[in-house]
Amino acid sequence: MLNIKQIRESPGQFKAGLARRGKALADCIDRILELDGQKRSFLAQIESLKAEQNAAGKRIPMMKKAKENTDEIMAQMKDLSQKIPGLESSLREIGNDLEHLMLSLPNIPSPDIPEGADSGSNVETRRFQEPREFNFTPRPHWEIGKDLGILDPAAAAKVTGARFHFYKGQGARLERSLYNLFLDTHTQNGYTEILPPYMVNRESMTATGQLPKFEEDAFKLVGTDYFLVPTAEVPLTNMHRQEILSPDDFPIRYCAYTPCFRAEAGSAGRDTRGLIRQHQFNKVELMTFSLPENSYNELDILTGDAERILQMLGLPYRVVTLCAGDLGFSSAKTYDLEVWMPSYEKYVEISSCSNFEDFQARRGAIRYRAEDGKTKFVHTLNGSGLAVGRTVAAILENFQNADGSIALPEALHGYMKCGRLTREEGC
């Protein structure tokens, strides 16, 4: 959430920041200031009337004791008691409108990210390893998975619906091996492993920015106010919701494996085959709570930790800095890690690493006590370390052989107990 006090003091700064995302957003600042002015006006009126009410309430016993006539002051009290509820009702309505608008506005982009309206203006920062040159035509991972007998979307479509998968045999083992490798690596690098709930409440979804704007993308449990997690970012961030932390606690680094559930509203027709865009997929998430002055250094650390996994697996990838128009709702700055997919003949996102600055912390009241004794908002960061299904897809495509077998990355040999996937022998 943006800072309403700072909006009052520097509305032009916020208009300019939001205009980098889209002009219509900048126009919302005027409406916020209008509602904020009305809210403050109603508050002042209510406080003034209540002060009159309290003063009159103190005078009445004194007047009665002095045997003075109280008819006039009693009439004033009755008039005040009738006015205040109406003003309070208007205040609640304006307050709700203001809160909804504030919760619907995205974060302000960091000044150092590229300008642009969409992904076409994103800037490549660096690459690791050039894509492999095949001496045969590489096949897509969904065909490879079917031929190896390790992926079965048809069975999943029968049991559940489109955009779900059964992993079978060594496919299931590969998926499990990957998230174990991810968790083992991240915990060795200082992250505390968390196994969170797979359901969260409305307050948690609101704190991280999924609600109210993206409710259509969430899976809500009928008859409850619980949602299936779209990412472990939600439970991990909310572990410290409404808490005041000590400066000595930072940086706080968590990693967590969860299945993730997304309705993918508005994505009809996109990546309908394979593992790239699923309603349910596994992911290992990295989460950092940081002091504000250190958060951009922490973003580099977190991004490097996600990159380390891709390097261990020997997968070609690139790091892209997102432009202002392509940023996620809560992010101030994001690096996307994009892995090379031979069947697509392009790089495909496998991780987004973001600094939210104090945007989520304001929504969730996550603070720390500074040296001057005042409470301040922490900075939150997160990134995928990595999306497991997309990693499976990348391995199948990048390490496929002409005979249909898969040469597994060495980092997985100990987990898989073999170095090669074949149809006949399995692993």
Residue 337 near residue 350, CB atoms below 8 Å: yes
For the chain, the residue count is 427
Among residues 316, 319, 281, the alpha carbon closest in space to that of 302 is found at 319
CA 166 from chain center: how many Å? 27
Which residue in 290, 363, 390, 397 is the catalytic one?
A: 390
Q: How far apart are CA 339 and CA 110, in angstroms?
A: 25
- How high is the mean pLDDT of the chain? 95
Residue 31 bears catalytic tag: no
Output the pLDDT for position 23.
Answer: 65
Which residue in 277, 308, 318, 420 is the catalytic one?
A: 277
Q: Model confidence over 114-126: pLDDT tens digits?
A: 999 999 999 999 9
204-238: b (≥16 Cβ within 10 Å) or e: bbbbbbbbeeeeebbebeeeeebbbbbbbbbbbbb
Residue 193 in 3-state DSSP? strand
Which residue in 20, 21, 262, 363 is the catalytic one?
A: 262
Q: How far apart are CA 403 and CA 78, in angstroms?
A: 90
Q: How far apart are CA 106 and CA 322, in angstroms?
A: 15
Q: How far apart are CA 134 and CA 40, in angstroms?
A: 67
Residue 258 forms beta bridges with which residues? 283
Q: How far apart are CA 397 and CA 304, in angstroms?
A: 24
Residue 20 bears catalytic tag: no
**DSSP H or E stretch at residue 340:** strand 333-341
Other C-beta atoms lying within 10 Å of the C-beta of residue 273: 13
Which residue in 127, 349, 405, 420 is the catalytic one?
A: 349
Residue 352 bears catalytic tag: yes
Reading the chain (427 residues) residue by residue, the pLDDT tens digits are: 999 999 999 999 999 999 999 868 888 999 999 999 999 999 999 999 999 888 888 888 888 888 888 878 888 888 888 999 999 999 999 999 999 999 999 999 999 999 999 999 999 999 999 999 999 999 999 999 999 999 999 999 999 999 999 999 999 999 999 999 999 999 999 999 999 999 999 999 999 999 999 999 999 999 999 999 999 999 999 999 999 999 999 999 999 999 999 997 655 555 678 999 999 999 999 999 999 999 999 999 999 999 999 999 999 999 999 999 999 999 999 999 999 999 999 999 999 999 999 999 999 999 999 989 999 999 999 999 999 999 999 999 999 999 999 999 999 999 999 999 998 766 7
Q: What is the pTM of this model?
A: 0.92
Q: Model confidence over 25-44: pLDDT tens digits?
A: 888 999 999 999 999 999 99
Residue 317 near residue 338, CB atoms below 8 Å: yes
Which residue in 110, 204, 295, 352 is the catalytic one?
A: 352
CA dihedral sign of residues 75, 78, 84, 87: negative
H helical segments located in 135-232: 141-148, 153-159, 170-188, 202-208
Amino acid at 242: Q
Q: How far apart are CA 22 and CA 15, in angstroms?
A: 10
Residue 369 bears catalytic tag: no
Q: How far apart are CA 412 and CA 36, in angstroms?
A: 56
**Dihedral in degrees, nearest 10, Cα atoms 37, 40, 43, 48:** -100
Q: Model confidence over 260-284: pLDDT tens digits?
A: 999 976 555 556 789 999 999 999 9
DSSP 337: E
Residue 54 near residue 116, CB atoms below 8 Å: no
Q: Model confidence over 187-238: pLDDT tens digits?
A: 999 999 999 999 999 999 999 999 999 999 999 999 999 999 999 999 999 9
Q: How far apart are CA 335 and CA 35, in angstroms?
A: 35
